Amino acid sequence: MLNIKKLAVQFYNQEEKTWFEAVHHIDFKLDKGKVLGIVGESGSGKSVTSFSIMRLHDAKNTQIKGEINFEQIDLLHLSDDEIRKYRGNKIAMIFQEPMTSLNPVFTCGYQVQEAIMLHRKVSKEEAKKQTIDLFKEVQLPRPEQIFDSYPHQLSGGQKQRVMIAMALSCNPELLIADEPTTALDVTVQKTILELLLRLKNERNMAMIFITHDLGVISEIADNLLVMYKGNVVEQGPAKQLFENPQHAYTKGLLACKPSPKRQLKKLPTVADFLNQTENVELQHLLAENQITPAEINERRSLLYAQKPLIEVKNLCTWYPIKQGLFSKAKNYVKAVDDISFDVFPGETLGLVGESGCGKTTLGRTILRLIEPTSGQIVYDGNDITHLDKKSLRKLRRDIQIIFQDPYSSLNPRLTVGQSIMEPLQVHHIFSNDEERKAHVIHLLEKVNLGAEHFNRYPHEFSGGQRQRIVIARALALKPKFIICDESVSALDVSVQAQVLNLLRDLQQEFGLTYIFISHDLAVVKHISDRMIIMNKGKIEEQGFPDEIYHQPKAAYTQKLINAIPGNF
């Protein structure tokens, strides 16, 4: 169905007045009814390849060479009017970010209805009926209501289903899914994958599924294409590549994903494999790196012989639901509902649950960024639940947070050096800016960046580098306790491995205590000493990671474990 030959894509760099080649002469084929998985890190050329098939690049600043043959027609030689007949009709695409792919000004139903009317030439009433049928097909709850809902009124998983419905609205022969599950909970992710597979089989579609997560791709792909820096480094049947990867890069991608089935001291990174002179066997490297039960028991006996650093007692954070402007609260959303636990010095406590279970609200309530409704927060023996602003400001030196999104948590107008130096100035640490700058450069080096990055702005860094800058800023005041709120969820598996290793190294060096919040049970199991499973504002269960994974007490925990993709 699709035959790509010697595809090369170049972009024009306005500043340097030069052409940059993002994809270097790649070849691959796709048969009808099959799923091709394209895997690689950010910047490997995956999305550029899919955008080229759809002809979505800016023609003025892009050069595409080679052939893209779809059912014997070379798409690169079609005019703009001719390609429009294919785009959305025979070839459809689900984009990575449903929030930015949907127009916030129009209802979800209108946007799908518009696509049907454009390509199918049917009446408005018939298009509405087909839209509601599609919403039922992608298993959206209350399809008639969602037809009249705006994007901001839906959850991430629901928005992604609207995008899938839109992509399927014209019965495409080829569906391109570009990272469609990256920012979703594991349970929602599992549902979306099952839905895509079911729709593919029912409609006999071909699919290109793009992701950086090998676990996800193992669930859905027939064949696999591994991309690295614009080149295809390995391709073949998915099963074969998972069982016997040949290229060092593929081995690295497989190794750096945390697996709940093993407990490693340090996650391998892609660089470990690419930099090796001799061939490294994956299983050998993993076996060398295992933590023994004796080491785990020794750490636990040291940790839990201490007094807790943080004690949370019967904590509640409720949000009132009001009817009308001046009326009293009719009801409450119980985001955190009667929660109690302790955190010990030097411990990593993992907090796991789906979106909306109250993890982030709990983290921010402990830091008093959100005021608790009731209960007690005791830090280092002192009750901080009702501290005044002046006392809280002093406390902020000891307790820090690393936010989920490094893009929005750095000020785009400040250099990264200024961002990290700012808390030092606010708390009057060091006698002058010269000493502060030296300390900031020392921190940048700690997170594997350098002095040359001091005067650069956030937009000049990748997502993984930005997350490291945010970690450096959190360390600036030498805190004792840090809350990591989904701090690796948006990162490539290889960058995620580097950040997780960095957090563990910094913990050992500075004696840090972490609460690590995530919806990814495999990541939390890797980094945590103990785990808390949260659901609907309450604790479902808590305990040691290996015990929870192998003998879950709650049905909800079992559901989370079953949803871990590619459980290899």
Which bin fits 139, alpha (ψ -120 to 50), beta or left (φ > 0)? left
pLDDT of the residue at 324: 61
Q: Is 129 within a domain?
A: no
Show which of 194, 225, 244 is a domain's final residue: 244
Phi/psi for 328 (5° steps) reads: -80, 165
pTM score: 0.82
User: For the chain, what is the domain count?
Assistant: 2
Same domain assignment for residues 366 and 502: yes
Same domain assignment for residues 486 and 350: yes
Please give the share of the chain, as a percent, with pLDDT higher than 70: 95
Same domain assignment for residues 229 and 359: no
455 pLDDT tier (thresholds 50, 70, 90): very high
One-character DSSP codes across 101-142? HS-TTS-HHHHHHHHHHHHH---HHHHHHHHHHHHHHTT-SS
pLDDT of the residue at 281: 66
Same domain assignment for residues 424 and 541: yes
Distance between CA 223 and CA 235 in Å, rounded?
7
One-character DSSP codes across 499-523? HHHHHHHHHHHHT-EEEEEES-HHH
Burial of residue 558, with CB atoms counted within 10 A of its CB: 0-12 exposed, 13-18 middle, 19 or more buried: exposed
Q: Is 557 within a domain?
A: yes
For 41-97, give the secondary structure using H, E and C. CCCCCHHHHHHHHHCCCCHHHEEEEEEEEECCEEHHHCCHHHHHHHECCCEEEECCC
With a CB cutoff of 8 Å and minimum separation 6, the contacts of 153 are none
- Using alpha carbons, list the distances in angstroms from residue 439 to 264, 411, 474, 475: 32, 20, 13, 11
Q: Is 486 within a domain?
A: yes
Phi/psi for 342 (5° steps) reads: -120, 155
pLDDT of the residue at 217: 87
Distance between CA 297 and CA 383 in Å, rounded?
31
Q: Is 394 within a domain?
A: yes
365 pLDDT tier (thresholds 50, 70, 90): very high
pLDDT of the residue at 42: 78
The mean pLDDT value for 161-187 works out to 84
Show which of 195, 218, 244 is a domain's final residue: 244
Which range marks the domain in which residue 433 is found? 345-370+382-562
pLDDT of the residue at 519: 82
Residue 309's nearest CA partner among 124, 131, 514, 493 is 514
pLDDT of the residue at 277: 55
Distance between CA 513 and CA 507 in Å, rounded?
7
494: its two tokens: 């290889």
Q: Is 265 within a domain?
A: no
Q: Is 302 within a domain?
A: no
Same domain assignment for residues 534 and 409: yes
- Amino acid identity of residue 211, one-letter, is T
Q: Is 338 within a domain?
A: no
Distance between CA 366 and CA 281 in Å, rounded?
44
Distance between CA 64 and CA 57 in Å, rounded?
9
User: What would the pLDDT profile of 412-435 be if each residue is shown by its tens digit?
Assistant: 999 999 999 999 999 889 999 999
pLDDT of the residue at 329: 64
Show which of 188, 217, 244 is a domain's final residue: 244
Provide the CATH number for the domain around residue 28. Answer: 3.40.50.300
Q: Half-sphere exposure (CA, 13 Å, Cβ side) for 228?
A: 15
Same domain assignment for residues 558 and 449: yes
Higher pLDDT, 463 or 532: 532
322 pLDDT tier (thresholds 50, 70, 90): low
The mean pLDDT value for 289-308 works out to 91
The mean pLDDT value for 153-168 works out to 84
pLDDT of the residue at 520: 83
Judged against a pLDDT cut of 80, whether residue 230 lies above it is answered with yes
Higher pLDDT, 214 or 536: 536
Judged against a pLDDT cut of 60, whether residue 247 lies above it is answered with yes
Q: Is 227 within a domain?
A: yes
Same domain assignment for residues 360 and 212: no
pLDDT of the residue at 174: 93
Same domain assignment for residues 398 and 530: yes
CB atoms within 10 A of CB 456: 15
Judged against a pLDDT cut of 80, whether residue 60 lies above it is answered with yes
568 pLDDT tier (thresholds 50, 70, 90): low
The mean pLDDT value for 544-560 works out to 91
41: its two tokens: 């890190």
547 pLDDT tier (thresholds 50, 70, 90): very high
Same domain assignment for residues 430 and 542: yes
246 pLDDT tier (thresholds 50, 70, 90): confident
Distance between CA 108 and CA 290 in Å, rounded?
49
pLDDT of the residue at 183: 64
Owner of token pair 């959190």 = 474
pLDDT of the residue at 548: 92
Q: In what order do the strands lie in the sheet with 231-237?
A: 91-94, 174-178, 206-211, 35-39, 223-228, 231-237
pLDDT of the residue at 101: 81
Q: What's the whole-number average pLDDT of the chain?
A: 88
